[in-house]
Amino acid sequence: MGGSGAASVIVVGAGVFGLATGLALAEAGLKVRMVAETVPGRTASGVAAGMLAPAFESVLDPPTPQSLDLLRASRDLWLGLAGRLGVALDRSGAAAVGPDAWVQDLQAQLEALGLEVRDAGRAEMQTWTPGLAPQFGRALVTLEDWRIEPQDALAAMAARLRELGGTVEAGALSDRDLADSPGPVVLATGADQRLSALAPELALLSPIKGQILWRADRAPPSRVIRTPGAYLLGSGGGLLAGATMEAGRADLAADLQAQASLRGALAGVIPLLPPEGWETRVGVRAASPDGLPLAGASVRPGVFLAVGARRNGWLLAPLVAEIVTAAVTGEDGGRWARRLDPSRFAPGTGEVQA
């Protein structure tokens, strides 16, 4: 693999889509050259929480309730990928904590999707994290939702790619540089529009700014906790809380108003969390019109796309990598390839069905 006789491919972007796709291409025997202006740990993927959450994302994020099977299929691909990388998957599940009406509504939605959930009482809830508001006497738990530590996984993917003969370079390539490439080009550039002349589908994407809060002076919860408007989990040895969804914004400036809203959501469930002392982390994600990625061939010959994850980049990365690798190598992309085909928004195509 990755030997001197292997076909070459350029991957632009070193977030989880770029690295997962580059790694899949290298595992398929191609020589991968990855070029990125931002190092993996500082991409939007590096800022993210690393949740692999098909259950709660299906009911809490409006674009995806009809995509549960797709989300679960990609989550399951993490079993093999994490094993090859030697990184841990947290499969302890996630819990919803909040007002009774909100919890009951989530339960009804999850059960309507055929997902198994269970109740947790107050005694169990108190073992997850200290300081839960006393008015919440029950929570909802699902084992469908997992998590991976982003920084560990990004570093492991970059290292494995290099082991297979690939390179990861800091820098930028112009659309002319890429157009002149003799081999395939994969664009995993997030919300960046600068290469839209090379792949017009990039113009479909819109940015979503996300802010996450982190602090080292509070013990992290023992499992992911979802609340109305926020989540809490342990990451990097501290407590991580997120995340804002600021549609149409592509700046990386910390926004105090958005942070205040996030802290307010947290205070409704854990009142003793101090409002000060948080470190703010900001990333910009890309969203397609239907909230699902563009994965596969561009209308531009020789150009392939791995972009537009909205808020499920970590969850969908192995499926996107599989589909793009199949497109590059001329293989069948499998059941979900048409659902994520970048051409699905072309005039006259109509709605794509699973």
Tens-of-pLDDT digits for all 354 residues of the chain?
334 456 799 999 999 999 999 999 999 999 999 999 988 777 899 999 999 999 999 998 866 557 999 999 999 999 999 999 999 999 999 999 999 999 999 999 999 999 999 999 999 999 999 899 999 999 999 999 999 999 999 999 999 999 999 999 999 988 888 988 999 999 999 999 999 999 999 999 999 999 999 999 988 999 999 999 999 999 999 999 999 999 999 999 998 888 888 999 999 999 989 888 999 999 999 999 999 999 999 999 999 999 998 989 999 999 999 999 999 999 999 999 999 999 999 875 555 444
Sequence-ordered strand ranges (E) for the chain: 8-12, 31-36, 51-52, 89-90, 94-96, 118-121, 138-142, 146-148, 167-170, 185-187, 206-215, 224-227, 230-235, 238-242, 246-247, 279-287, 294-297, 303-307
CB within 8 Å of 287: residues ≥ 6 apart: 205, 206, 207, 208, 247, 308, 309, 310
- Per-residue confidence (pLDDT) for residue 54, from 0 to 100: 96
- What is the per-residue pLDDT for 350? 52
Task: Give the fold, CATH level 3, of 94-142+207-287.
Answer: D-Amino Acid Oxidase; Chain A, domain 2 (3.30.9)
Residue intervals in the chain for CATH 3.50.50.60: 8-58+150-204+289-345
Angle at 207 between CA 15 and CA 348, to 5 degrees: 105
Q: With beta carbons less than 8 A apart as the criterion, state whether 305 and 200 touch.
A: no
Domain with CATH 3.30.9.10 in the chain: 94-142+207-287
Query: Which residues share a beta bridge with 93?
Result: none
CATH architecture under which domain 8-58+150-204+289-345 falls: 3-Layer(bba) Sandwich (3.50)
Decide: 93 and 233 in contact? Cβ < 8 Å: no
* Residue 17 host element (H or E): helix 16-27
Would you state the pLDDT for residue 62? 64
| Cα dihedral sign, 16-94-282-64 | positive
